Structure 1
């Protein structure tokens, strides 16, 4: 689980850095509606939060280990989108802040919590899976 949490942490940091360096919206979106299916990073040229055919993948993570489950609250349920100022924004223009949990199928094992701040940074802590 620590490895999955670290991968997601690195991917979010990469998306943020790319948005700043390229001066364009970069989105990290889950695959097929669930973070446990993996994710991809792409230049979100039309700022819709989902990857279209003309938006090539910059980086991708495949499906996670069967024993690891990833959950997210509403603001980050489908995507994390960065603009060139390094902050996360929702498609409607509001700031994006939220929490993702990396959990083991057996809930008694500690979980990792990844919290996206309004400033666009992600911090990691451990605790119990709320799901």
Structure 2
């Protein structure tokens, strides 16, 4: 691209952001659901890589409160007792005593739940288009 003249480079850059061009839709294909009859191997591989990334990065998660919790703490605002505590309060599973393992399993559960919801939603949307 360094050997292209300046006018050509700027027109190429402008065309990258034009949604009417077919080349602009190529990046969207990566996010689309597989065609009927194709396998989900690529998606499963991506989920496995995300799970491995979670396992590696969870120990580095901050244990400090987020901004809103910090402001509430500074202003001495008492936290109300929740009506329902949820399945994974504070991104952990109460049944698992090991903090690291509890957070890891909660993260993996969240990954599976969100992936399944996205898959089902994608299937519903694709059925509506047909």
TM-score over 0.5 (shorter chain): no
Normalization by structure 2: what TM-score?
0.22
If asked which structure has higher relative contact order (CA below 8 Å, sep 6+), I would say: 1
Q: Give the structure with the higher percent helix.
A: 2
Q: Give the structure with the higher percent strand.
A: 1
Normalization by structure 1: what TM-score?
0.22
